[in-house]
Chain A
Amino acid sequence: KQEVTQIPAALSVPEGENLVLNCSFTDSAIYNLQWFRQDPGKGLTSLLLIQSSQREQTSGRLNASLDKSSGRSTLYIAASQPGDSATYLCAVILFTGKLIFGQGTTLQVKP
């Protein structure tokens, strides 16, 4: 059974810091991996989708990497800003199209 774990569960950093969020999964037989952002009381917004044949994806200050063999993904946020404060969710996408989510990392960036 596929399980997705995110560490840490919560993170507080001062503005301007670079930070890394971690995601691990137990079964390397995944189709893709996706990172989402969730603001309080809101739905999920897709940040980056990494296809299984790729090793990383970049969008602005965000960079996500994927290492299927070790069952790990990281989301790197450069020069963090208070507006980055949110919960970040990692999800593995199975070949059936089903998504399995981690519990998320709640990030607070202090001005």
Chain B
Amino acid sequence: DAGVIQSPRHEVTEMGQEVTLRCKPISGHNSLFWYRQTMMRGLELLIYFNNNVPIDDSGMPEDRFSAKMPNASFSTLKIQPSEPRDSAVYFCASRSEQETQYFGPGTRLLVL
């Protein structure tokens, strides 16, 4: 398996623009997680899905952030409108029951 795939790997955008980050989990995994990593706050869980259903979105910072998982092989994290403070590395991870999480390489987002 290719592991967790994220795209794009790097994104530079201007404040106010919409940003969409994409994730393809490992085939057969039924849980998917979105994290954000910054120097100040470290690694934080934003939201996670189990069997395509959002279970805990308490980490989503505000209404500008939304996440979807339309099927078992694809998820998106959208920021609209983006702000400079959203600049961070966004990781997607997936796992199957009772096993460890496997992380993708991350998307490095810079909002100017």
Contact = CB atoms under 8 A, between A and B. Distances in A.
A103 B38 CA distance: 10
Contact of A45 (B44, B45, B103, B106): B103
A46 interface: yes
Which among A41, A43, A46, A89 has the highest number of chain B CB atoms within 10 Å? A43
Interface stretch (A18-26, A76-84, A91-99): A91-99
A44 B33 CA distance: 13
Contact of A89 (B31, B43, B105): B43
A43 B48 contact: no
B48 to A, nearest CB: 7
Nearest to A4: B42
Given A43-B91, A43-B106, A46-B101, A102 B45 contact: no
Which among A42, A97, A102 has the highest number of chain B CB atoms within 10 Å? A97
Contact of B48 (A46, A89, A98, A103): A98
B104 interface: yes
A43 B104 contact: yes
A42 B105 CA distance: 6
B32 to A, nearest CB: 11
Interface in B3-32: 4, 31
Contacts of B56: 96, 98
Interface in A40-55: 41-46, 49
Which among B4, B55, B100, B103 has the highest number of chain A CB atoms within 10 Å? B100
A34 B100 contact: yes
A101 B103 contact: no
A99 B45 contact: yes
Shortest 7 CB-CB distances between A and B: which pairs? A43-B103, A101-B43, A44-B103, A103-B42, A46-B100, A43-B105, A49-B100
Interface of B: 4, 31, 33, 42-45, 48, 50, 55-56, 91, 93, 100-106, 108
